[in-house]
Amino acid sequence: MLNPGLILDDRYEIIEVVGTGGMSTVYKANDLRLKRFVALKVLKSEFSNDINFVSKFRVEAQASAALSHPNIVNVYDVCEDEGRYFIVMELVDGITLKDYIREVGRLDMDTAIDFSIQIASGLAAAHENHVIHRDIKPQNIIVGTNGSLKVTDFGIAKAATSNTMSTTNMGSVHYISPEQARGGYSDERSDIYSLGITMYEMVTGRVPFEGDTNVSIALMHIQNEIVPPRRLYPDIYSSLEKVILKAVQKKPERRYLTANALIADLNRVKNNPNIDIIVAPSVVTNSPTREFTENDMETIKRESNMKNVDDLAYQNTTLIGQNGYPKSSTVTVDRSKINQLIDDEEDYYDTPEPVKKKGIKIVDDDYDEDYSDAGYVEEEPEEPDGDGIDPKLEKIVMIAGIGAAVIIAVILFILVGNVLGWFKFGKSSSNPKPKATTEATSEEKKKTSEKNTEKTEEPTTEKKVTKKMKNVVGLKYEAAKSELEKEGFTNVTYERVNDDDVPEGYVAKQSVKEAETVEIDANIVIYISAGASEIAVPDVKGYYIDDADRVLTDAGFEVTHSYELSDSVDKDHVIGTEPGENAKAASGSTIKIIVSNGPKEIQVPNLKNSSEESAISMLSSLGLQTGEITYESSDTVPEGQVISQTVDAGTSVTEGTQVGFTISLGKATKTYTATISGTITPYDTSTVNQYIKESGGTVHLTVKFNAEGEGEKVVVDTDVDSKAFPYNVEQSYSGLSSNKGTVIVLIIDSNGSEISGMFDTDSVKSVTYDVE
């Protein structure tokens, strides 16, 4: 773990741990250069020390950094600092889809479809850039607070999986595709399988396969069919179930070939849940990325050759076991729809045929084998043996070789027999007929032909061919056209019309009703939907979000929201829409409202005990301005450091806000003024006067002030006679550094004897101090 405050690459300051996974730890960090918060995904040491892994990780992560899509977490940079390898990513405010499902349970259909489209859109963008995720699961999908989904862990997942080919690090076993479970080649369709499992979990609240070990779950992906979602929850759309079942087909060629094809079907289900658009063949706790051992892989390869995983000890004993988890299942296929669309599957998705490879049988998406009343079970091809040769292929080659040898032997036998006269091929036992006979025969044929021609030219009465009209409403244009051609109708006209309820490209209505008898050459008009009629998008700039929703909804649109920072538009008010105002959009289509989150908010840093220079630099780095700087003494804060600030630390403010602070001058230096004021008075005036007169008539009076730290100061130093008493003393001293000191009064007679005791000097000795 990295400690908060650590700065990586002289730029990224670690703030706190966000989460940890099998290969890395994610930290929230402050980008000191661009003044923004980011997420740092730091590889764990066991991966950082693997040179091969790091090399692949860097290449794939750099490729992921080129991806830019609203449904993909942006990768800003790939860095290394003293052996620590990390990815700098967008910091998304939200929770994982796994946690979201835990909180709300199984999702409603509209939410599940919307989430699926967003995830598939992110995958489509990645696949178009030749980046395969290979670890799609709810834990790698972030549900933002604004309702948008973002796929994360691009690059690191592929780096780990490409290392998988030799290290058997297999990804998340609950969502792994069959080809990944076998350790074989995986491509974009592997991501589609994992997304199908994720969609299954969204609509049912659980993963389709659970087992005691990773190996047992992996084998279920290879051999078992999933329980159809509607068997668990009948309220799931039938059309959505078919989409999911198609996405999780065992064979990659039977799944959606592209993420865009999956998105197209999801949009059709979204627009019309009851539409029958495809015929689908049959088809947790946290799921961290798992590492399979060599023993695990050998077990999978050995056990995957079994006809049914029910033979294994870990398998449950009932079809729907405890808590609704499946033992195994098959799906009954609707044969009435297969014949209707099976010939149009290629045109239907408008995708190129897969490239055929030697030894691989290309199977159409709607090809079905071995149907039974209960459904069907699709057998998986046998795995290659230890020498890399497919046992079935080896058997076929052997049989073909034997057959070829037999055929060659038969041909040689016939040729030799014909040469030696054993057979009489092409010979007749009768003599050839004379030439005249041949000519007569030709003449006879000519006459017969002419006679037949004459008969043909005689007027005849033809009976009109009629047929019952077939219902093609709800079918795609190509499928409807094919159906009518098969029925033999020869005069069909296709017209495009706007329809708010039927998706574009599908039959909205037909001029001849279903089962109505009509001549096959009668004109039949088929109306193809051109989509909903387009209307102008209202201008809702500056509207409060609820008001904007109401205006667009009243205009016939669906709405969704995204959020952006704005210095010019108030929080929760509309910045704009996509498409923009006054643009044309189909009625019922979705308009994205871009809502202001207000100006960028910055947390004010704690400036206390920082130097003046450091405080100014700290404010500037966050986009804040330095306010008024004041100075004052402090007995607790050292000189030159911040005592206080005008805006409290942690307060959220907008960029450019002024923050002032006060700098300590250190401990305060005080000066004092000392005032000595009083009267020296004889205790007995007559006695003192008589004594002074007899001793010479005068005495020497001395008053001294000893100020602490300042030395001795003479206040009075003079000779006085008896008439000077009582003697007044008045003296002040300023600029003293201390408020402590003493006053000394000495009175000496002319004989040198001290007679101070004959006088009251207390008032003089009492000093008054004032702070200057």
Judge whether 135 counts as a catalytic residue. Answer: yes
CB atoms under 10 Å from CB of 582, counted, come to 9
**Of 561, 491, 484, 546, nearest in space to 519 by CA:** 491
DSSP string, 96-115: EHHHHHHHH-SPPHHHHHHH
Q: Where are the beta strands (DSSP E) in 66-164?
A: 75-81, 84-90, 94-96, 141-144, 149-151
Beta-sheet strand order (sheet of 711-720):
711-720, 699-707, 741-749
All residues at 6 or more sequence positions from 285 whose CB lies less than 8 Å from its CB, including other chains: none
Distance (Å, rounded) from C-alpha 150 to C-alpha 473?
Answer: 37
Which helix (H) or strand (E) is 291 found in, with range?
A: strand 290-291
Tokens of 357: 């490879």
The alpha helices in 137-274, defined as continuous H runs, are 156-167, 178-181, 188-204, 214-223, 229-232, 238-247, 259-271
Q: Helix (H, G, I), strand (E, B), or coil: what is residue 228? A: coil
All residues at 6 or more sequence positions from 135 whose CB lies less than 8 Å from its CB, including other chains: 153, 157, 160, 161, 171, 172, 175, 194, 289
Long-range contacts, 303-312 (Cβ 8 Å, 24+): 303/215, 303/219, 304/181, 304/182, 304/219, 304/222, 304/223, 304/380, 304/383, 305/382, 305/383, 306/223, 307/379, 308/223, 308/377, 309/216, 309/219, 309/220, 309/222, 309/223, 309/224, 312/216, 312/219
CB 159 within 8 A of CB 53: yes
Q: Helix (H, G, I), strand (E, B), or coil: what is residue 698? A: coil
All residues at 6 or more sequence positions from 350 whose CB lies less than 8 Å from its CB, including other chains: none
Burial class (CB in 10 A: 0-12, 13-18, 19+), 508: buried
All residues at 6 or more sequence positions from 36 whose CB lies less than 8 Å from its CB, including other chains: 30
Instruction: Choose the catalytic residue: 114, 135, 296, 365.
Output: 135
CB 572 within 8 A of CB 566: no
- In the chain, how long is the greatest CA-to-CA distance? 204
Any idea what DSSP says for residue 311?
A: G
Let me know how long the chain is: 772
Q: Which residues lie across from 483 on neighbouring strands?
A: none
Q: Is 41 part of any known ligand binding site?
A: yes
CB atoms under 10 Å from CB of 119, counted, come to 28
Distance (Å, rounded) from C-alpha 707 to C-alpha 691?
Answer: 34
Q: What region does 7 belong to: left with phi over 0, alpha with psi -120 to 50, or beta? A: beta
Burial 702-737 (b: 16+ CB within 10 A, else e): ebebebeebeebebbeeebebeebebebebebeebe
Name residue 343's amino acid. D
All residues at 6 or more sequence positions from 662 whose CB lies less than 8 Å from its CB, including other chains: 629, 630, 631, 632, 642, 643, 644, 645
The owner of tokens 């996974």 is 21
Distance (Å, rounded) from C-alpha 252 to C-alpha 231?
Answer: 24
* Active-site amino acid positions: 135
Residues annotated within the binding site are 41
Binding-site entries for ATP: 41
